[in-house]
Structure 1
Amino acid sequence: MQPNSKQNGAGPAPKTQTIREYGDVSAIRNNVVHLQDTPGSEFIGSSIEFAGTGNVLFVEDGSRLRNCRLRFMGNDAVIHLRKSHGFLRLIATVFEESVFYLGPGATFTSEARVLPTERKHVIVGSDAMFSSRVAFRTADPHLIYSVQDRQRVNPSQSIWVGDHVWLGEDTLLLKGSRVGSGSILAARALITKNVPSNSTAAGVPGRIVSRGIFSTRPSVHGFTEARTAQSLVHDGDEFIYSADGNVTDMKLLEDELGAATSGIGRAAWCFQLDQLEGKNRFYIV
């Protein structure tokens, strides 16, 4: 963990511990918290609840939280949040031994909802563009069994989202979703499977409706006629992804995360992911 993180273990912890301002961090017991009032940081209309022990919260210095509600509803879970371009706007509930990782540079139109459960995880890369009411769920959540053999048929699965992904309004990502870098999830898309890099997925359930595309960040809402004319061609290739030696094995990464036996171990995995370099690290064919 970071050197200024707080891990307070003296005395019994109350059943639920809550942070509503920076000064509350020092009172948290039996959990690790890195949330500091540093230059540029804000903590507005937000709260963080701990209903367990061994959990780890890391909020990168300088982050601005607005209307966030972060909850730990079990033990040894992790929320790892990197600094965004603007405000972090999240309603996230993590359960026993699950991880929510958000890479740097995200933007939000409204609060995204994140629910990692049953020791599965939500991993989002850098430069994500969240439109309104985006949601993630790693579980159904109720149990479903086969009539023939009584075996469970709906295991929970982690969700992975690559770098520079545009998540459209009302997008819902369910268990097992894997979205490659540079992709677009259309408004109201229901994502349940792989979305290749530089593709658009749309519909319910989501299907690939275009390939070989990329998006850039400027919003057209305020464009003048001249700005529209200037936007007709983008010569850069910074958002075009391809296979190279830096492509990661997401299954291997998740196996490494699954091998962790504590919140601290899972937090260490998140810091290692921060150091994972290569433009094409989350390329999906």
Structure 2
Amino acid sequence: MQSIIQLENNNQIILTGADGKTISYDTFMARNPKCQLVFNGKNNRLVLPFDAELMNSKINFMANNGLCYLENTLNKKVILNLSVWENSTFIMGKDCSFNGFLNAIVSENRTVLIGQRVMFSFGIWIRTSDVHIVLSIESRKIINHGKDVIIGDDVWIGQGASLLKGATIGSGTVLGYGSILTKAVPSNCICSGAPAKVVKRQIVWDRQSMHNFSEEEKTDFEETYDFDPKIIYTNEAYPENLQEFRKQLGSIQKRTMLDKMAVIATLFDQPVVIKEKKPSFLASLFE
């Protein structure tokens, strides 16, 4: 069940999991007193769980036909500084978490697609466009078109990292402090640097904090840790059919808003198992 808050110019806030409950815009804002929502243009959609808490969030729809689609976060809290431009889409899967603001600008008719259980640290930026135009003198063509940004499942993004147009992170990967990513990187690895490069492969990570760990506790953790096959992924972030997936994202943009949301809702529930290991979020979309 969902509840729809109808705004001017066919802009809507859609609350999922509402169990038939209805809510007014004033009531919604009273429940989220420190958030800022701006709906410029028309036909924009903000889709989020009924009980989500927008913690000082700023969500700005800057033009027409923008979509922000959020699943349940790990603790119901959403900490976003987001701008969605003409016909652009921001999608976040369930059980993600924030330690500070996630800043994102989605424009040039592109998509930011974030998987499930992604952990965001502080001061992170995601952008799908350079914003300003660069042309070839020779061909007189624009040479810096925008690109989608894709983040798989179970990804940890470190403090101050930036994901620029074309960035793709395989599931189970760690992106290090202050990294700048502009390309595709594999699953289950550590990437760091500016530009970011793979520095360690075949890793998994755990949300548990080591701040107060003694050396004995670290040893005990190592000896008792059970490598859950669900967090070891089976593919790289750049399969041969990644271009086909990007075409699918493009086709999402061309759909009606209702069809667009129906397609997105199916992206996070792909019951696929390969060799007793969980396929990455990216791989599951191709099954």
TM-score (norm 1): 0.83
1:66-81 equivalence runs, <5 A = 66-81=55-70
RMSD across aligned positions (CA): 2.5
Of residues 258, 263, 276, the one that matches 1:264 is 258
Query: Which residue does 1:22 correspond to in 2?
Result: none
Query: Which residue does 1:30 correspond to in 2?
Result: 10
CA distance in 2, matches of 1:85, 1:46: 19
Structure with the largest fraction of helix:
2
1:1-285 equivalence runs, <5 A = 3-7=2-6, 13=8, 29-35=9-15, 43-86=32-75, 87-233=77-223, 234-237=225-228, 238-243=230-235, 249-259=241-251, 260-278=254-272, 279-282=278-281
Provide, for residues 22-73 of structure 1, a one-character-per-residue CA deviation record: whole Å limited to 9, x for no partner: xxxxxxx51121137969x963511211001111111123322211111111
> 1:212/1:37 Cα in 2 relative to 1: closer, same or farther (>3 Å)?
closer
Which amino acid letter does the alignment assign opposite residue 264 of structure 1? L
CA distance in 1, matches of 2:5, 2:34: 22
CA distance in 1, matches of 2:243, 2:68: 20
Q: Say if 1:60 and 1:82, in contact at 8 Å, map to a contact too.
A: yes
Q: Say if 1:56 and 1:264, in contact at 8 Å, map to a contact too.
A: no
| SS of structure 1 residue aligned to 2:178 | coil
Q: Which runs of 5+ in 2 are unaligned?
A: 20-27, 273-277
| SS of structure 2 residue aligned to 1:220 | coil
CA distance in 2, matches of 1:261, 1:36: 21
Aligned-residue offset at 1:232: 2.0
| SS of structure 1 residue aligned to 2:264 | helix
> 1:179/1:130 Cα in 2 relative to 1: closer, same or farther (>3 Å)?
same
CA distance in 2, matches of 1:147, 1:252: 31
CA distance in 2, matches of 1:142, 1:153: 11
Aligned-residue offset at 1:146: 1.5
CA distance in 1, matches of 2:17, 2:204: 37
Which amino acid letter does the alignment assign opposite residue 128 of structure 1? V
CA distance in 2, matches of 1:59, 1:228: 39
Q: Which runs of 5+ in 1 are unaligned?
A: 14-28
TM-score (norm 2): 0.83
Query: Kindly, what percent of the aligned residue pairs are identical?
Result: 28
Which amino acid letter does the alignment assign opposite residue 169 of structure 1? Q
Detail structure 1 runs of 4+ shifted over 4 Å in the superposition. Answer: 36-39, 247-250
Aligned-residue offset at 1:229: 2.9
Aligned-residue offset at 1:249: 4.8
> 1:216/1:125 Cα in 2 relative to 1: closer, same or farther (>3 Å)?
same
> 1:223/1:65 Cα in 2 relative to 1: closer, same or farther (>3 Å)?
farther
Provide, for residues 48-102 of structure 1, a one-character-per-residue CA deviation record: whole Å limited to 9, x for no partner: 1100111111112332221111111111111011111122111010001100001
| SS of structure 2 residue aligned to 1:265 | helix
Q: How many residues align?
A: 261
Which amino acid letter does the alignment assign opposite residue 234 of structure 2? S
| SS of structure 2 residue aligned to 1:100 | strand
